[in-house]
Structure 1
Amino acid sequence: TASALVFIFFQLAREQTVQERIFNEIHALYDRKPQADKSFRPQDYAELKFMDRALKECLRLWPPVTFISRAITDDIVLADGALLPAGCVANVQIFDLHRDPEQFPDPERFDPDGFLPESVDKRNPYAYV
Structure 2
Amino acid sequence: MKYLLFFVLFLTSISSFSQEDWVKTEGTITEITIHSGRKTRETAVVKFNLEDGTEQLGNVELFRIPFIGSMKSVGDTVAVNYNKKNPVLLETVFGKFLSSYGMYILIFLGIIFSIKPFLTKKAQSADK
Of Structure 1 and Structure 2, the greater helix share is in 1
What's the TM-score, normalizing by structure 1? Answer: 0.24
Of Structure 1 and Structure 2, the greater strand share is in 2
